[in-house]
Amino acid sequence: MEHGANGGEVLTQALVFLGATCLVVPALRRAKLSAVMGFLLIGVWMGPHVLGRLAENWTWLSAFELREDRPTIALAEMGVVFLLFVIGLEVSFERLWALRRYVFGLGLAQVVLTTIAIASVALAFGNDFATASVLGLAFALSSTALVLQLLRERSQITTPVGRISFSVLLMQDLMVVPILFLVAALGVNTARDFSGHNIVIALLTALISLALIFTFGRVLLRPLFRWVASIDSREVFIAAAIFAAIGMAVAAQSAGLSMGLGAFLAGLLLAETEFRHQIETDLEPFKDLLLGLFFVTVGMQIDLALLFANPVTILLGVVGLFAIKITIIAPLARMFGIAWPRALAVAFMLGQAGEFAFVVIASARANGAIPEATADYMLLVTALSIFITPFVATFGGRIARRMAHKQTTIEPDLAQEGGHVVIAGFGRVGQTLADILGKQEIPYVAVDTDSALVASLREDDAPVHYGDSSRRDVLSAIGAANAAAIVVTINDPAAVELIVAQAKQAWPHIPVYARARDGAHARRLHELGATLASPDTIEAALQLGEALLNGIGVPDEAARRIIDERRETEIAKALYQAP
C-alpha cells in the first residue's frame, strides 16, 4: 500500500511538471524567450519557496507543488547526463584535439585565476580562509548544462564562440575531482584525513580510472551497437543508447569523476561510429525533457523570501560574480588569440556559477568548511546567476556584434583551427550550402565582397567575413590551409577559375569544389584541379526533372535514383567531352 502511495506521488509530480511545461514554455517561446527561462520560472513559482508556502494556508495548492525529492533530483541529473552524451556525439577526437589549447590553456587558466580572485574578495569581506576557498572553488565553474543548452537553442554550438565556450566547460568538468578533494581537505571534520600525498594518489587513481573507462568503452561500444542494430528494432536500439550513456556515467561516478564527464566520453566514442546520427535523433526528446526538469530543480533553489530579506547583499553577490568572471575571462581569451568580440561573448556566456556549485556547497556544509548562513547565501547566488544568464548572454552577444561591425579585417584566430569548410562567395548558393552544413553541425567560414550582406548576416552571428576571395592571403586568413574543403560559389566564371587555380597551387592537398556556368566551364575548372565542378545548367534541369517525375506519380525513391544516375552521366560528359 505504501509503495502504491509513493508511486501515486511520483505520478502526480510528473503530471504537474508536464502540465506546467505545456503551459509556460510555449508562452515564453511566443515571447521569443528561452525555454530554459520557462523551466526556471516553473521551479521558482511551483517550488517549495512560493507555492509550497502558500499551500500552508491553502492546502489544496499542495497538489500542484513541485517537491525536491530524490526521484526528481535523480531524473534531473539524467538530463545533464544525456546533454553531455549528445554533445559528445557532436564532437570528434580530431575536433577535440584542435581545441586543445583552449581546453588545457584557456580553461585551466580561467579556473585557477577565478578561484584566486573570488577567494581574495571573500577574504577581504572578513571570511576565514576555508570559507573563502570554498567560495572561490564553487564559483569558479560555470553551468555546463545551461550554457550548452543556450548554445544549442541559438544554433551556436559549432560557431567559434560555441567551440571556445565548450572547451572551457570541458576543462571545468575535468576539474571536478581536484575541487572536491580540496573542499574535503578544508573541512574541520575531515581535514586531518587529507594530505598532499593522499590528494595526489586520489588524482592518479581518478586518471587511471578514466583511462580504463575509455579503453573498455572503445572495445565494447561499437560491437554492442552492431549486434543491436542487426535485429532492426528501434526500441532495443534506444535501450542500448540509454544503457551506454547511463552506464558510462555511473562508471565515471564510481571512480569519483563527474557523471557528465563519463556520459560525454561515451558520446565521444560513439561519434566515431556509423550510429552517431541515429542515436542523437532517438535521444533528443529524452534529453530535452529531463534537462528541463534539471532547470526546474535549479529554480526551486531560489528562495524569494530570503532574497527580499537581504536584496542588496545577494544582488551585489550576483553582479559581483559576473563582473569578476567577465573581467577575467575576456582578457584571458584575448591572450589566447581570440578577437575581442568573441572574447566578450564567451565571457558573458560563462559568467554565472554552475550546477556543480550545489555539490560543492553540500559537501562543504557537511564537513563544516562553511557556516549554514553562508551556504544558504551561496545557494541563492548560484541559482540567481543561472536564472539571469539568458539575459546576460543576450546582452553580451549584442555588445560583441556591435564591436564586430567596426572590424574591417578578418580575425586571425580562425586560421589556427581546422576541419571547417571555406565558402568563397555567400550568395544564394553559398547560403544554401551553409545551411546544409549547419544542420549537420559541420563548421564553416565564408567570405564575400558584399559588405551590406556580411553586416546583415553577422547580426545573427554567422561566421561570414568581408573580403576578396580571389586573394590568396584572404583565404589563408580564414584558415584555408587547415580546411576540410574549399567551395567556390561565385557567379563569375573568370573569378572562379582564378580562385580554383590559386587554391590548388597554394594548398594542393585541400579538395576544391566549384560552381560552373556550363559544361565547358566545368571542364576548365577540372583541368585547373577542381575536385568537382557542378554546372548550373545541369542542376537546374535535374531539379526540374525530379519534380516532374514526382508530379506524374513516380515514387520519390525511384525518382531520386533516376536523377542521381543522370547527374553522374551529365557531369562525366561535362568533364570529359571534347570542347
How many whole angstroms separate alpha carbon 520 and alpha carbon 536?
12
Q: Residue 399 burial (CB < 10 Å; 0-12/13-18/19+)?
A: middle
Q: Mean pLDDT highest for which of 19-23, 154-158, 331-335, 407-411?
A: 331-335
Q: What count of other Cβ atoms lies within 10 Å of the Cβ of residue 124? A: 9
pLDDT at 1: 39
Q: Which residues contact 114 (CB under 8 A, 6 or more apart)?
A: 136, 139, 140, 324, 325, 328, 329
pLDDT at 544: 66
DSSP state of 104: I
How many whole angstroms separate alpha carbon 21 and alpha carbon 467?
46
Q: Which of 470, 555, 482, 456 is nearest to 514 (CA)?
A: 470
Number of H helices, E strands in the chain: 27, 6
pLDDT at 118: 93
pLDDT at 172: 85
Q: What angle do CA 414, 419, 423 make, to 5 degrees?
A: 70
Name the more confident of 314 and 372: 314
Q: What angle do CA 255, 257, 258 make, to 5 degrees?
A: 140
Q: Is pLDDT at 106 greater than 60 in this prediction?
A: yes
Confidence of residue 412 (pLDDT cuts 50, 70, 90): very low
Q: Where are the domains of the chain?
A: 68-405, 412-576
Query: 193-247 pLDDT, tens per residue?
Result: 545 555 566 567 667 777 777 777 777 887 888 888 778 777 888 888 888 888 8
Q: How far is CA 91 from the centre of its chain?
A: 10
pLDDT at 304: 78
Q: Is pLDDT at 426 greater than 70 in this prediction?
A: yes
Confidence of residue 3 (pLDDT cuts 50, 70, 90): very low
* For range 286-303, the mean pLDDT: 73
* For range 352-380, the mean pLDDT: 79
Cβ pair 329, 350 in contact under 8 A: yes
Name the more confident of 430 and 283: 430
Q: Is pLDDT at 2 greater than 50 in this prediction?
A: no
Cβ pair 86, 266 in contact under 8 A: no
Concatenating the DSSP letter of every residue in 22-51 gives HHHHHHHHHTT--HHHHHHHHHHHHSTTTH
Mean pLDDT across the chain, nearest whole number?
77
Q: How large is the angle between the packed helices 144-153 and 276-300, nearest 10 degrees?
A: 120
Fold of 412-576: Rossmann fold (3.40.50)
* For range 309-327, the mean pLDDT: 91
DSSP state of 484: S
Query: 467-486 pLDDT, tens per residue?
Result: 788 888 788 878 888 888 89
Alpha helices (runs of H) in 158-258, residue ranges in sequence order: 160-174, 176-186, 196-229, 234-254
Strands (E), 332-491: 421-424, 444-448, 464-466, 485-488
Mean pLDDT lowest for which of 31-35, 298-302, 318-322? Answer: 31-35
Confidence of residue 408 (pLDDT cuts 50, 70, 90): very low
How many whole angstroms separate alpha carbon 473 and alpha carbon 463?
18
Q: Which three cell numbers stand for residue 149?
A: 543548452
Query: 524-543 pLDDT, tens per residue?
Result: 888 888 887 877 766 666 66
Q: How far is CA 41 from the centre of its chain?
A: 22
pLDDT at 44: 79
Q: Is pLDDT at 322 greater than 90 in this prediction?
A: yes
Q: Which residues contact 548 (CB under 8 A, 6 or more apart)?
A: none
pLDDT at 348: 94
Q: How far is CA 572 from the centre of its chain?
A: 42
pLDDT at 95: 63
Q: Is pLDDT at 440 greater than 70 in this prediction?
A: no
- Percent of the residues in the chain that have a pLDDT greater than 70, as a whole number: 78
Q: Is pLDDT at 574 greater than 90 in this prediction?
A: no
Which three-class secondary structure state does DSSP give residue 409?
coil
pLDDT at 349: 92
How many whole angstroms separate alpha carbon 477 and alpha carbon 405?
18
Tell me: domain 68-405, CATH 3.20.20.70, correct? no
How many whole angstroms separate alpha carbon 98 and alpha carbon 219?
24
How many whole angstroms separate alpha carbon 33 and alpha carbon 18?
19
* For range 156-171, the mean pLDDT: 81
Q: In whole angstroms, how far apart are CA 107 and each of 337, 344, 432?
A: 14, 15, 35
pLDDT at 576: 54
Query: 336-355 pLDDT, tens per residue?
Result: 888 888 889 899 999 988 87
Q: Which three cell numbers stand for residue 342?
A: 568573441
Kindly give the pairing relationship between strand 485-488 and strand 464-466.
unpaired
pLDDT at 114: 95
The pTM (predicted TM-score) of the whole model is: 0.61
pLDDT at 319: 93
Q: Can you tell me which residue has the cell 506521488?
A: 9
Which three-class secondary structure state does DSSP give residue 423?
strand
Cβ pair 462, 525 in contact under 8 A: no
Confidence of residue 294 (pLDDT cuts 50, 70, 90): confident
Confidence of residue 117 (pLDDT cuts 50, 70, 90): very high
Query: 13-50 pLDDT, tens per residue?
Result: 677 777 777 877 777 667 666 677 777 788 778 777 77
Q: Which of 359, 416, 160 is nearest to 168 (CA)?
A: 160
Q: Which three cell numbers stand for residue 217?
A: 568503452
Q: Which three cell numbers stand for residue 560?
A: 531520386
Q: Is pLDDT at 458 greater than 90 in this prediction?
A: no
